Amino acid sequence: MALVDGFFTVDTLTPTVQAFGQAFPRALTATAKVAAVKVAPKIRVLAQAPRAVVYPIRWRSVKQRRAFFASNGFGKGIPYQRTGTAAASWEIEVTQVDNATLVAISNPVDYSQFVYGRVGDTAYQQPFHRITGYASADDIVTVGRDLMVEEITAQLAPAIGRLLEVRS
């Protein structure tokens, strides 16, 4: 289970693409998987560290600040050196359940909820990460969803056009 998740179905697609998906659910899922490969790098770019830390660091509480220094940066050293792992770990998973295509945008890194917040609950995003300019999990998932819909629609448009020509 990822610590930051955003699940959605592809019912946000246009009615024509939805109808195609109902008639050809496996084709829609296969198309969504191809779209996920194209979109995942784009959301990883959105999730990258925006700039250097803004000082003074705005801690959520005195207790948090003390815990950070007492634990040597929660075991990661002081000063913490960014590795890019959290940004690089965003992933898009596409599955088919019955005739529905499900898309999950997630980040399995244990500390990602503190960098980006949780989907639907930005309170987890630490104030200093927000001040530094990190995108929220909500923003990343929303952009990812919109890019997925755009990519799926673009990929299916030629096939749908051919089907409509045959019908007329």
Task: Band the pLDDT of 37: cuts 50, 70, 90.
Answer: very high
96 within domain boundaries: yes
Find all residues with CB under 8 Å of 36, minimum gap 6, and list them: 92, 93, 94, 103, 148
Q: Is residue 139 within 8 Å of residue 157, measured between CB atoms? A: no
Do β-strands 4-9 and 100-107 pair in parallel, antiparallel, or remain unpaired? antiparallel
Tell me, what's the pLDDT at 124? 85
For the cut 80, the answer to whether the pLDDT of residue 6 exceeds it is: no
Q: Give the long-range contacts of residues 107-111, CB within 8 A, separation 24 or more.
A: 107/2, 107/3, 107/4, 107/47, 107/137, 108/2, 108/3, 109/3, 109/85, 110/3, 111/74, 111/86
Amino acid at 2: A
Q: Is residue 161 within 8 Å of residue 146, measured between CB atoms? A: no
Predicted structure pTM score: 0.86
Instruction: Tell me the pLDDT of the chain averaged across its residues.
Output: 87
162 within domain boundaries: yes
68 within domain boundaries: no
Domain range spanning residue 125?
4-53+85-167
Summarize the confidence of residues 45-60 as an average pLDDT. Answer: 89
Tell me, what's the pLDDT at 127? 92
* % the chain with pLDDT above 70: 90
Cα–Cα distance for residue pair 144/147, rounded to 1 Å:
5
Summarize the confidence of residues 90-115 as an average pLDDT. Answer: 90
150 within domain boundaries: yes
70 within domain boundaries: no
73 within domain boundaries: no
11 within domain boundaries: yes
Do β-strands 91-97 and 100-107 pair in parallel, antiparallel, or remain unpaired? antiparallel
Total domains present in the chain: 1
For the cut 90, the answer to whether the pLDDT of residue 116 exceeds it is: yes
77 within domain boundaries: no
Enumerate the β-bridge partners of residue 105. Answer: 6, 92
Tell me, what's the pLDDT at 148? 93
pLDDT higher at 161 or 136: 136
Task: Band the pLDDT of 14: cuts 50, 70, 90.
Answer: confident
